[in-house]
Amino acid sequence: MKSRTLIHGLLAVLLIAVSLSLSACGSNDHKESGSVMMADHSSMPLMVRQAPQRVQEAYRFAAANPEALKQMPCYCGCGPIGHDSNYACFFRKDGLLDTHGLGCGICVEIAHDVMRGMQQGMSLAQIRTQVDADYSRYGPPTDTPPVVSR
């Protein structure tokens, strides 16, 4: 009798968990995280979905907020490989995946700092000033034009 009750309890928990996970599924390409948009996890390539959580978040943020990251420099030294912004560490100009961000902590941290700044309501110019101040000690920036005011 106890084992039957235990089995029913476990099945109920499993049913609830499956229901909650299915209710989170939708047709939206983007999901909101705080006050910033994030690309849906399932839309990311497998190698991104298998990366550490912090890296996945950076790619999801980059995919949903290209205009923000295109205005932020990267300080990891990726300029010589053709990168012109932090966005380029995650996606190429043609929109395809760039794998550089999968293995570069500086790129990922800059993306997270931009995300956090946007969640706190900072302007892109304020975020850019903060990124420059925090990361300039790591190396030369990419050749990223100044922030465009809107």
Q: Can you give the pLDDT at residue 18?
A: 32
Tokens of 44: 């990311």
| Tens digit of each residue's pLDDT (9 = 90 or more) over 27-67 | 334 444 457 999 999 999 999 999 999 999 999 999 999 99
> What values do phi and psi take at 45, rounded to 5?
-60, 155
How many Cβ atoms are within 10 Å of 13's Cβ, its own excluded?
A: 10
Tokens of 38: 């994030």
Domain boundaries, the chain: 29-138
Global pTM value: 0.77
Rg, Å, the chain Cα set: 19
| Tens digit of each residue's pLDDT (9 = 90 or more) over 96-148 | 999 999 999 999 999 999 999 999 999 999 999 999 999 999 999 999 999 98
